[in-house]
Amino acid sequence: MANIFCTLALGESYAKLAAFLIADLEAYGAQTLVLTDAPEVFKKIRRVKVIEHRPKIFSYHDKRFVLQEALKLGDTAVFVDADTAIWFGADRRKIREALVYQFPPGLHASKLFPAGHFEYPIVEAKARAWGYEFDRNVITYWEGLFALTKDQNLDKFFAYWDRFADEAAARGHNGAGEGTCFGIAAEAAPIQRHYTTHLMQSTLPYLLWHTRLGYERRKFYHLKFGLTEMLKGNLNFHQHCWSRR
């Protein structure tokens, strides 16, 4: 059950951030895919699957296209925001284990309780008008890291998400709050929903951190961290030696 790690990178600045993420993932042998309007940024990365995408208007709902393309290559699409990287201090063995974690069919995402700015009443009202059944206490998800594994109702899930995307485009909205939309789509389809159970067991949320590191300085960042850790190690060693005198 291959995991395909995928992201949406529109605009050169986000493409350069995504290139850092992709290079980090591929260093551990992960299969990667990016949907972008700046494919030239990824020429130095050998194995990444680059899908050129040039929308007339930006929409967060384009993440669904990323997932659909990734699921053509593997059983599970793990979506990661472009401005993310693997935590420098993570144990390499733990990273390798996390990247090949086997997710069962359905949606795996961190649930956010709809309160304050996580509420999207327009979206909920539209969904009810369309006859979608859902529990509003479990529909809001963190959109920066989630996984989707092939499920028997996946076509219906994407059809419902398409409808949210079309509605947002009709009112000139950029699709922010897409986590609520795919949460409702998952409930209404229905596909299996695992919430954080397997996502946390995979340990991916502990290993991937939201940052903004450009690809052109990737070697510098890794070298800087490596030297810092080496110096810390030497300092700890000397402190240990002095403590035993």
One digit per residue, the tens of pLDDT, for the chain of length 245 reads 599 999 999 999 999 999 999 999 999 999 999 999 999 999 999 899 999 999 999 999 999 999 999 999 999 999 999 999 999 888 999 999 999 999 999 999 987 766 555 678 889 999 999 999 998 888 888 899 999 999 999 999 999 999 999 999 999 999 998 999 999 999 999 999 998 999 999 999 999 998 888 888 888 888 877 676 656 554 343 333 334 44
Integer angstrom CA distances of residue 149 from 2, 45, 64, 170, 243: 10, 26, 13, 30, 53
At 157, which CATH number?
A: 3.90.550.10
Q: Is residue 195 part of a domain?
A: yes
Query: CA Rg, the chain, in Å?
Result: 20
What's the domain count of the chain? 1
Q: Are 191 and 106 in contact (CB under 8 A)?
A: yes
Q: Is residue 52 part of a domain?
A: yes
- 134 is in which domain, residue-wise? 3-213
Q: Are 42 and 48 in contact (CB under 8 A)?
A: yes
